[in-house]
Amino acid sequence: MATVTDAGQAAVDAAQAAHTAAFDAAVAADERIEPRDWMPDAYRATLVRQIAQHAHSEIIGMQPEANWITRAPSLRRKAILMAKVQDEAGHGLYLYSAAETLGTSREELLDKLHAGRQKYSSIFNYPTLTWADVGAIGWLVDGAAITNQVPLCRCSYGPYARAMVRICKEESFHQRQGYELLLTLSRGTEAQHAMAQDAVDRWWWPSLMMFGPPDDESSHSAQSMAWKIKRHSNDELRQRFVDICVPQAEALGLTLPDPDLKWNEERGQHDFGAIDWTEFWDVLKGNGPCNEQRISQRRKAHDEGAWVREAAAAHAAKKTARNEQEATA
Amino acid sequence: MSGDWPLWEVFVRSRRGLSHTHAGSLHAPDAELALRNARDLYTRRSEGVSIWVVPSTAITASSPDEKDPFFEPAADKPYRHPTFYEIPDGVKHL
Amino acid sequence: MDTGAALALGDDALVLSHRLAEWAGHAPVLEEEVALANIALDLLGQARILLSMAGDEDELAYLREERAFRNLQLVEQPNGDFAHTIARQLLFSTYQRFLYEALAGDPVFGPLAVKAVKEVAYHQDHAEQWTLRLGDGTEESQGRMQRGLDALWRFTGEMFRPVEGLALNWQKLEERWLASVTAVIERATLRVPGGPRTGAWAAGAGREGLHTESFGRMLAEMQHLHRSHPGASW
């Protein structure tokens, strides 16, 4: 008997090894992994976690900006902001769909978000206090997101990469509208200029934190890089973002709130001050200014929408039953 | 009564003369709303002139495990592809 | 050109767009976030064209007092629950569709009407689809949908008071509207509300600048930032 079991186990092991080898070869050759391909459980779990967090960020991220739709100071700005917040809902949908190809339903992911068991980007736990915050989010937060996302268009998992291609294409206007909004304020009245500077002062550091903890403290990075889910390290992307922002801030006529920020000739990059990681971990743990507010609004919308979703499902069931009755009659 | 809506696959014809291609998926209680949601979601930048929606459960897919036997017959018929044939330089409209 | 008609149509679109935009982040399902925003954006686009026909769009939107707004009281009604919003959409988009269809040949509003009627036809379809699902859905959804219709019915008579500058047959418009709305309501297994569609209280209604309580608060929110920085550009 023992030999049979051993032989069985050996066959399973061999199949597993063959699968793993095929998967590794596909990733090494820069081929895309598709939903029905075999993949290591840990790869699947990492993707679900990352795509879900990304999707949650899109829909929670609607809130701080939607906060200003009803107060947008011109009809042109109002239309732009509405279109942008709408895009975020759309991007959430694309990403939930990508996660669903891995066998996890949107309902399940939303439940986890609502229960606080899955995260969204901590940046959205900061409040939008003035109109200029809409500009700062577009320029800095979307700018950081794009820096993060462009490499994801080449992510090894096909559906995620395709969703990101679509998202990056649509988001190209998001950052530009934010920049243009800040430029108008910066060149406007004294009060408007001050509003713009104040927003940049508040959003700069949290934006740098969006790239995640430093490489030596990042728990998932190495494996994700090996799987080509991630293409560049947190610190690499953060540096790239800082170097892009410095001349953009100058053109805006605004300063970045970091006295240590200066060009390093030797490195060919900017040096910048130390990030307050205590704040990062604290906000991540749920102690940011808006954590509670964001999640309860999300939960409330979901709970108050339950009867609508049920009604539509009930109507569809009735219709199906009626059609079947007609067919048999 | 559950409020979970089924999943639909969306195919969009981006302009006349092209075939429908898979754009993504969405949730909807029934086909009519699936079509409308797809219009709002996948063509809000006028990316399409026609949409198909199909319940995801209605799709039968080939299994990647059978990849080789399923698709190999096509791979060994290179004569189906125009590049199989050598044409003298300078011959046009072929 | 007499700007009264442009203001009436423009304010309808502006105010309803604002109300729909209040749904952002609160919709019952993500797909509806996208759908409601689409409708709100269409309406805002129409409002900007119409207000620009009457003057500077931002001055008109942000610097007029409540009494100078010419929109129907129906469109300023608060969102309520999703059924209430859908009821408002059904009643208004059906009206707006037939109105724009009737204006297709109008020398002033024709070009806008021809373009906008395609958008509005979609808004009407969206409202009908949801009226059917909520009406013939669960007991709860049916109750909510009926309450929405009942509550808003009293604001529908105003829609057919002639607007100066719009040459059309208002009576015919009303007949068409009533027939269409009745058919949808009945198909949705709901009752056509029995209450009056107009009354003495509505004598100086929205089109003449008399609005309902919540409208002032809506405008305060909409206008406060613009008004806090006189003369600034955005």
Give the C-alpha separation, A130 to A64, whole Å: 11
pLDDT score of A66 more than 80: yes
Report yes or no on whether pTM surpasses 0.95: no
- Domains along chain C with CATH numbers: 3-228 (1.20.1260.10)
Are A36 and B63 in contact (CB < 8 Å)? yes
pLDDT confidence bin for B1, thresholds 50/70/90 = very low
- pLDDT higher at A199 or A226: A199
Interchain contact, C31 vs B26, CB within 8 Å? yes
pLDDT digits (tens, 9 = 90+) for A185-216: 999 999 999 999 999 999 999 999 999 999 88
Paired strand residues for A262:
A271
B chain contacts of residue C35, beta-carbon cutoff 8 Å: 36-37, 40
Comparing B62 with C176, the larger pLDDT belongs to C176
Residue A172: per-residue pLDDT: 80
Closest chain C residue by Cα to residue B36: C126
Q: Alpha-carbon torsion B53, B54, B56, B59, what sign?
A: negative
| Interchain CB distance below 8 Å, A313 and B27 | no
Put simply, whether B35 touches A (Cβ < 8 Å) is no
The helix-helix angle for C4-21 and C213-228 (nearest 10°) equals 90
Q: pLDDT tens for residues C198-230?
A: 776 664 588 999 999 999 999 999 999 999 999
Q: Report how far residue A117's alpha carbon sits from residue A42's, in angstroms, rounded to the nearest whole number.
A: 18
CA nearest C221 in A: which residue?
A71
Token digits for A253?
A: 């006529």
Tell me what pLDDT residue B82 has. 64
Rounded Cα gap, residues A206 and A126, in angstroms: 8
Residue C187 pLDDT > 70: yes
* A139-193 pLDDT, tens digit each: 999 999 999 999 999 999 999 999 999 999 888 889 999 999 999 999 999 999 9
Average pLDDT over residues B3-7: 85
Dihedral sign for Cα C63, C68, C72, C78, please. positive
Which of C20, C23, C31 to substitute to test the interface with B, most B CBs within 10 Å? C31
Burial of A5 (0-12, 13-18, 19+ CB in 10 A): exposed
Q: What backbone phi and psi angles, to 5 degrees, belong to A121? A: -60, 130
What residue spans of chain B are helical by DSSP H?
31-42, 67-75
As a whole number, mean pLDDT of residues C169-189 equals 97
CB contact (8 A) between residue B3 and residue A319: no
Q: Does domain B2-64 have CATH number 3.30.465.10?
A: no
Q: Closest partner residue to B1 among A94, A107, A313, by Cβ? A: A313
Name A171's Cβ contacts closer than 8 Å, sequence gap at least 6: A87, A91, A142, A145, A146, A149
The predicted structure's pLDDT at residue B61: 83
Helices (H), chain A: 2-28, 41-60, 62-66, 75-100, 106-114, 132-136, 142-149, 158-186, 190-209, 221-226, 234-252, 277-282, 291-304, 306-328
Residues 6 or more apart from A261 whose CB is under 8 A from it? A242, A246, A270, A271, A272, A273
